[in-house]
Amino acid sequence: MHLTKEEDRILNGELGAGTQKAMELLVAIGDAYDAEKMIPISRAHAASSGQEGDLYFVELLADGGAKCKVPTSTNPVYDLNYFHKLFDIPKDEAKVARRVMQAYKRVGAILSWSCVPYLTENIPLFGETVAFSESSATPYVNSVIGAKTNREAAQSALAAGVIGKTPKYGLHIRENRKGTILIDVEASLKDEFDYTLLGQYVGKAVGYGIPVLTGTTRQPQTEELINFCAMSNTSGAISMFYIPGYSVEAQTVKEAFQGDIPQDKITVTDKELKETYDELQTTSGRIDFVQLGCPHYTLKQIAEVARMLGGKKIHKDVSFWICASATTKVLADKIGYTKTIEKAGARIVVDTCIDEPCWIAYKQKVGMTDSPKCAYYRRFKDVVVSRLEDCVDAAVKGRWR
């Protein structure tokens, strides 16, 4: 990969050990993908995790004096003080999480601790070149916003944020943003959960590629798209997709395939969505908890939970958690949603991911969620996936079916 004089100086350590390590990683990635050069980025999102895998690299950069050159937001970890009051979190796990959070602060990252930063804290515009990691963030940024990012890891996104550049390869090149498979959606998509099931199915069926979805009969809503992104990029590796007519980069199928005729096609009917749903029914009976907000719930979703929980009481043996960004919770507090939700016995928690050691108390428990991604991480003994209204109903009754 060709480097400028300035990039060479960084690589040689002339601007500090932290930026040198960040550059070494980017150059290694660029070489692996035959990138011709580095290109500037305007923002990054590091899928921090508060766990061992994250700690080594962020501390390496922080100890070496690196600072983010462009706005770089962070994924959720958890509020150590809050969860320590509730649960007996192992000291070594908490220590790692604390060190990770401190290191991101030292490198000057935006301490958003949210997995939907593209809605509030770190929003790219159409055409921007960025480096975003996190399952829903990468496809959302590429497909809904029309900015350009590769499917970054926490480390490569952080390195790009520190250098302010990324190697030019993959989805930064127009030809690589071409659709690879046509998905004919005959299934009736009524709500967010249908988009969740669609994402789960498409990710599994396609694996790796750029699906082009036809047959959707109305403008998809933000939350529906977030769910599709998160699930298709968890059950598969979908960094980008098109819904011609609604995608900013392709108004027609022809544009999505850059003039080519699609070679592969999958049809998704109600039958496939029903089978996907059935696969997620891993248990029934008594439940111990409900876990929502994977990805972090938006204000609209919190409003819906408040409406459903209004005047109800959650079963005494069930804990009910909603993960959201701190920004969203401020508004939920002001509007009064938090009060309604807490009155029913549920809680909104900020800065927190469902895949964190703070949930240790639920390790042997059975719960419900509306997110297959939450079930995928297997932090709990068993997690059934169903619609939000089913989760609320089960939380009140104390059992699912």
CA nearest neighbour of 54 among 109, 110, 99: 99
* 218: Cα separation from own chain's centroid: 24
Angle at 222 between CA 306 and CA 309, to 5 degrees: 10
Q: How far is the CB of 114 from ligand F3S (least distance, A)?
A: 8
Q: For residue 291, what are the β-bridge partners?
A: 321, 369
Within 8 A by CB and 6+ apart from 23, the residues are 7, 10, 11, 159, 163
- Strand ranges (DSSP E) for 193-254? 211-214
Q: Does 76 bind ligand F3S (CB under 6 A)?
A: yes
Among 366, 373, 375, 385, binds ligand F3S (CB under 6 A): 373
In terms of CB distance, is 76 or 211 closer to ligand F3S?
76
In terms of CB distance, is 129 or 233 closer to ligand F3S?
233
Side chain identity, residue 182? L
What distance in Å separates the CA atoms of residue 163 and residue 161, rounded to the nearest whole number?
6
In terms of CB distance, is 177 or 373 closer to ligand F3S?
373
Q: For residue 320, what are the β-bridge partners?
A: 290, 346
DSSP letter at 168 equals: S
In terms of CB distance, is 69 or 373 closer to ligand F3S?
373
In terms of CB distance, is 375 or 396 closer to ligand F3S?
375
Among 230, 273, 344, 392, binds ligand F3S (CB under 6 A): 230
Among 58, 256, 354, 358, binds ligand F3S (CB under 6 A): 354
Among 19, 20, 72, 75, binds ligand F3S (CB under 6 A): 75
Q: Does 129 bind ligand F3S (CB under 6 A)?
A: no
Q: Does 358 bind ligand F3S (CB under 6 A)?
A: no
In terms of CB distance, is 166 or 291 closer to ligand F3S?
291
Report whether 396 contacts 315 (CB < 8 A).
yes
Q: Does 279 bind ligand F3S (CB under 6 A)?
A: no
Q: How far is the CB of 308 from ligand F3S (least distance, A)?
A: 21
Token representation of residue 127: 């055409």
Q: List % helix, strand, coil for the chain (3-state, nearest 5).
A: 45, 20, 40
Side chain identity, residue 152? E
Q: Does 383 bind ligand F3S (CB under 6 A)?
A: no
Q: Does 203 bind ligand F3S (CB under 6 A)?
A: no
Side chain identity, residue 49? S
Among 38, 206, 294, 392, binds ligand F3S (CB under 6 A): 294
What distance in Å separates the CA atoms of residue 77 and residue 55, rounded to the nearest whole number?
12
What distance in Å separates the CA atoms of residue 197 and residue 291, rounded to the nearest whole number?
17
Total residues in contact with ligand F3S, by rule CB under 6 A = 13
In terms of CB distance, is 165 or 373 closer to ligand F3S?
373
Stretch that binds ligand F3S, among 214-222, 251-259, 272-280, 350-358 (CB under 6 A): 350-358
Q: Does 355 bind ligand F3S (CB under 6 A)?
A: yes
**Interface with ligand F3S (CB under 6 A):** 75-76, 115, 230, 294-296, 323, 353-355, 373, 377
